[in-house]
Amino acid sequence: MNKNLLLYFIATVAATGGLLFGFDTGVINVALPSLREQFNPSSETEGLIVSAVLFGGMVGPFVSGPLTDILGRKKINVIAALIFVLGSIITAIAPSVMYLIIGRLFLGLAIGIVASTVPLYLAEIAPANQRGKLVTFFQLAITLGILLSYVVGYFFEGEADAWRSMFWTGFVPAIILMLGMLFVPESPRWLIGKGREEEAMSVLKRLREDSIAEQEMKDIKQLIEDEKHNKGNWKMLFSKRLRIPLLIGVGIFFIQQFSGINAIIYFSTDIFKKIFPDGSDAVLATVGVGVINSCATILAIMILDKFGRKQILYTGLIGTAVCLATVGLAFYMKDSLGAEIQKIMLIGGVYLYIIFFAISLGPLGWILISEIYPLKIRGFASSMGSFNHWIFDACVAYSFPVLAATNLGTNGGIFGIYMTVVLLGLLFAKYVVFETKGLTLEEIEKRYN
């Protein structure tokens, strides 16, 4: 197979994990109305149904952390796919809320695993000048998964037991991930780390020109030799030497999540209902969020290896801050604004916000945690990075409906809080993040010596 084609085949299979991530987190946005009809859950139970996936996501990195480095980047994804299959079946046939929550915990566990391992696998397979692009494939798949869930929601809306059909849909990509993963090669970097140099060389030669493959092999081996004395463990992750990468792993996901992205991804139907009392118009506006999110991520794939990571981060942060201010004002000034102006500010603000997020904070979270850690602890450290994602995600998902019911919801103050976090993110982008565009993983690692 042509080398580039093979690279894209690998990226597509691995990114199916992202599709499942997006689908199983996004589907709750559209499944909630029919779940409410069938089970009439209290708001606490509803909170549990929404966030069970996020709690599972928090456990995922603790499973994938050690196992990615021991079993390799491939097997762990097959395991995750099996858990996805199991979770999809349990949620789709759930006879009670209890089963639903258990099924969503399983789905979350699988999402937590792929979110740690897929970006890392992609970063290790990719040539340096295409790394940003390939890891953004994962983000694109997340957004396509979210879109798929919204479209499925739109089609089944109003049917009896609509949520069961929605959850069954997640079963299909889970099977594709499981079968596809059996055909992709193991990460050459992991193979070299395990002393399986011949296999690594053959993978590298399938993916690169021979001379580039040989040079890459040399660089990776040299790095492993230099790092021989370092034990890859918690102590290393928290050592002074890795303070900046550690800070980046926490900071980027704090800003990504507290920018309020999932207040929109999980609850946009409820938000849009404030201006579209007809449920199906609100779901249609939510489908718009999904379409824009995916299209803007395609744009991100085109620009990420052209402009620096920092430059893109600045643009995204400023853009999202302005949009959050617009959405906040649409609520704050609703009595003085005409209904039409309020609609434009709310929908326009949300849609533009999604564009700015999708080209910057969305992909950059996953790109940075896949490339900034040393090989010795890359699996473990990027898993811990993604653990931060789930903690912060759960905080926002839990607090949004609660805050939305208070004054902060009615006067738009909640969006002011998200805007403040994004503005503080500018300091983080300036003083903590460093430029990694175009550097090989080995060159990035040398920075810490």
Binding site for ligand BGC (CB under 6 A): 25, 139, 142-143, 146, 261-262, 265, 293, 362, 365, 389, 393
Q: Which of 151, 169, 159, 147 lies closest to 91 in space, CA to CA?
A: 169
Q: Which is nearer to ligand BGC, 261 or 421 (CB)?
A: 261
CB of 119 to ligand BGC, least distance (A): 10
Q: Which is nearer to ligand BGC, 88 or 293 (CB)?
A: 293
CB of 343 to ligand BGC, least distance (A): 23
CB of 41 to ligand BGC, least distance (A): 23
CB of 293 to ligand BGC, least distance (A): 5
Question: How far is residue 160 from each of residues 50, 93, 156, 190, 415, measured CA to CA in Å?
Answer: 20, 14, 9, 48, 35
Q: Which of 239, 241, 243, 304 lies closest to 431 in space, CA to CA?
A: 243
CB of 108 to ligand BGC, least distance (A): 12
Q: Which is nearer to ligand BGC, 58 or 142 (CB)?
A: 142
Q: Which of 312, 296, 425, 278 lies closest to 350 in space, CA to CA?
A: 296
Q: Which is nearer to ligand BGC, 190 or 254 (CB)?
A: 254
Q: Which is nearer to ligand BGC, 25 or 34 (CB)?
A: 25
CB 163 within 8 A of CB 34: yes
CB of 309 to ligand BGC, least distance (A): 15
HSE-up (13 A, CA, CB side) for residue 59: 13
Residue number, nearest CB to ligand BGC: 362
Q: Which is nearer to ligand BGC, 347 or 394 (CB)?
A: 394
